[in-house]
Amino acid sequence: MAVNEVLGNDDYSEVCLNPEFNKLLLKLKPHLTEDGTSITVQRDLRDVEERFRQEKGTWLQQHVLLSNLKDLLLESQMRGSKIATPSSSAQFYETVQNMLTHAEIGDYIHCDPETGGERTLFGLSNDDLRLKKPFEQHSKSIQQRLIPELESRLRKRCEALVGFYDSVTDAESAKLTFARTSELPTNLEQDLQKLKLDEREIKKEQSIQETQYSEYYQNLLRSLSLLESLVKNRRLKSQVESDEVSTLWLTTRCDALCLKIKIFELQILCDTYHEGTVQALRKIRGEIDRAIHSTEYDLKQVDQTLAAYEAVGSGFDNLVQEYTRLKDEIDNKKWALRELKQHSLEETSNE
């Protein structure tokens, strides 16, 4: 395989700029796989995976046999609990149970919590268990009866699995059900591979859909932004024209209201201040003017008196008290004078 086929045209054009790197890739090519893994490592990995698959298959076979044997013993115990007198079958299954228990003891005698410890349960060892086999003489006879029963159970379960996987419709196909059990692992493996391929395709489709969704979403946002800007510009232009018309209308209405208020004010003045009222107000103004002149004359006299007291000094209490009284009187007269002047100005403006 050429370097450009491995890297692609774009990457290969960049590699061509460095010939030494190109030579290095060509030297590494016989020692690496297409995904960059060492060929030796990949071969060792395949060997390990194959050994692991074999060991796993062996363990699964033993596990299936043990599970079926335990189920068989459990069913026999349930049947035996309903029968008062134990039969030969019950005794047979009891013997099988004891043999199974004796075989499982070896998994529990090593109870030392330390790694590599030699302490065992009751000091027993695997050699002790192998020497003491109370059911050794019955093993052959038990196997002759037990193995067919286990095979029958496994056969029924295999037929049930095949029936579940591929339902049988006619009697001729039912006879071949057990024969098809040997094809069941291959069929399941093919289905599993197909499911994985479908899963990858689904993930690929999901990735494409997510990318398309993101693109559609961005396009939608841009479209909304453009639409919003167009609406704002159009609305602003229309708003300016509407504001101008509204402003002109409000200005005209305000002017009209101001004229109405002025007319109403003049009408109230005309109704309030007729000829007789004006003459009376003029007389009142004359009286107020005379009172203003009199108050101003009194204020001038008080100021002169106050100035005389201030010139005397602060040694006399009576003079001080008189000074205080006169000053209060001056303040009162000033207030009265202001009130009279303000009232006179109001009367003048009304005329």
DSSP 266-287: HHHHHHHS-HHHHHHHHHHHHH
The token duo for 218 is 């961005």
Residue 202 confidence class, pLDDT cut points 50, 70, 90: very high
Residue 41: in which H helix or E strand, if any?
A: helix 39-81
Amino acid residing at 26: L
Sign of the alpha-carbon torsion through 189, 193, 199, 203: positive
- How many whole angstroms separate alpha carbon 324 and alpha carbon 321? 5
Contact 72, 93 (CB under 8 A): yes
317 has pLDDT over 70? no
Which of 122-136, 188-202, 298-312, 318-332 has the weakest average pLDDT?
Answer: 122-136
- How many whole angstroms separate alpha carbon 185 and alpha carbon 181? 8
Q: Cα dist. 302→100, 285, 286, 314, 327 in Å?
A: 139, 25, 24, 18, 8
Contact 154, 68 (CB under 8 A): yes
- How many whole angstroms separate alpha carbon 94 and alpha carbon 98? 6
Q: Which of 148, 159, 164 is nearest to 182 (CA)?
A: 159
Segment 206-261, tens digit of pLDDT: 989 988 998 898 999 999 888 888 777 776 677 777 788 888 999 999 999 999 99
Specify the pTM: 0.42
Contact 72, 149 (CB under 8 A): yes
Residue 169 confidence class, pLDDT cut points 50, 70, 90: very low
Beta-carbon contacts of residue 135 (< 8 Å; ≥ 6 apart)? 95, 98, 99, 102, 142
Percent of the chain with pLDDT strictly greater than 90? 7
